[in-house]
Amino acid sequence: MPATLAPTAAPLAAVYFDGLTSRRHRVMLAVEDGVARVTGEAERRCPLADLRVSEASRHGARIVTFPDGAFLEIDDKAAFASLLASTGHRGTLVARMQQSWRATLLAAAGMAVALLLLWRFALPLLADAVAAAVPAGVEQALGKRVLEEMDRTYFAASTLGQAAQARIAAQFAQLTQSMRLTAGADGAPPYRLLFRKSRIGPNALALPSGQVVLTDELARLLQDDGDALTGVLAHELGHLQRRHLMRRVVHGAATGAAATALFGDASAMLATVPALLLDLKYSRDAEIEADDFAAGAMAAAGLDPERLAEALERLAGDGGHTAAYLSSHPDTAERVARLRNRRP
Ligand SMILES: [Zn+2]
């Protein structure tokens, strides 16, 4: 039997649907000279090139679709394959179908990867670039506005004694002084320590203006360990140095803030910041950056970074009173372990 040489294969049974009704037409499908011929309860001819071989149907039959939406269901997959093979169109029809699926999947996967990369790398880079480009004047205005807002709602004048304030201020000055000596003064904002009595409990926060606010409650909590308190302030300076708040602001407000930061009208961006700062939760990466900075600054000032680890543990152990500080400074246990591991 000259099957391999035959220009045509035996016609095979199929069911024809007109694409408009659910009526089943029993037909035979043959292929001659690149043209599919349907005979039986329905009759039509169509160039193979215009047919589409679709995915298998629910019960596994192959589907061949005509340009007008009519289609054939073919149960005998083996016979269908040999029919296609015998016509020499197998390569075009089946491969075209598979390639189009492959191409679609590849395109979809490629798009997903591109979006992921954009989200993961390009947006933070853009936000960082914008945050770094925020003019000092905008940062000053931002810090002033935030402090006014927080003074109005959360802070009152400090009740810490003059002697205690002077002692902490001296340690803070020593810290910033040694930072300038080691890291250079370039671009460093003028750091200032402010004391406030707080309605939000023990806390310390750094404003974009370079002001670091220390609440009386946190000062009293760590009053017997000045180095630990200095460590916490160094950590806040780390957030400032790495511009974490500005990056958050820019991320949060996206393009609007970018335009604002670049083109000067800061009022829209300013409005969002007090709320952001109060509801602030820095990322784990930001905390670790600030810790690393603090450990380096402490070492440069002749202090043991272990004091910061201890301060974090004490804040964590204090439970509810330090909820505000801890909620804005997560992952305490991991950070303590990391601070201790970096010690020589
Ligand atoms: Zn922090």
What is the model's pLDDT at position 65?
Answer: 87
Site of tokens 């394959």: 81
* CA of 318 relative to ligand 1 center, distance in Å: 17
- DSSP H helices in the chain: 77-87, 90-117, 123-133, 136-153, 162-183, 216-221, 226-241, 244-263, 267-278, 284-300, 306-317, 323-328, 332-341
Q: Render the burial of 167-188: b for 16+ CB within 10 Å, e for the rest.
A: bbeebbeebbebbeeeeeeeee
Rounded to 10 degrees, what is the CA torsion of 318, 323, 325, 329? 100
Task: Please give the domain boundaries of the chain with CATH numbers for all domains.
Answer: 12-88 (2.30.29), 134-341 (no CATH)
- Tokens 């952001």: give the residue: 276
Q: How far is the CA of 326 from the centre of ligand 1 (A)?
A: 9
- Gap from CA of 333 to ligand 1 centroid (Å): 13
Torsions phi, psi for 194 (to 5 deg): -115, 140
Quote the ligand 1 centre to 69 CA distance (angstroms).
Answer: 62
HSE on the CB side for 26, CA within 13 Å? 0
Using a CB cutoff of 5 Å, list residues around ligand 1, an ion.
287, 290, 329
- Series of mean pLDDT values for 10-residue runs along the chain (344 residues): 49 90 90 87 89 67 86 85 68 54 70 67 69 76 83 91 94 85 55 90 85 92 90 91 77 52 53 58 83 91 91 73 60 85 68
- What pLDDT does residue 63 have? 84
Residue 12: CB atoms within 10 A of its CB come to 19
Distance 294 CA to ligand 1 centre (A): 10
CA pair distance 175, 169, nearest whole angstrom: 10
**How high is the pLDDT of residue 215?**
93
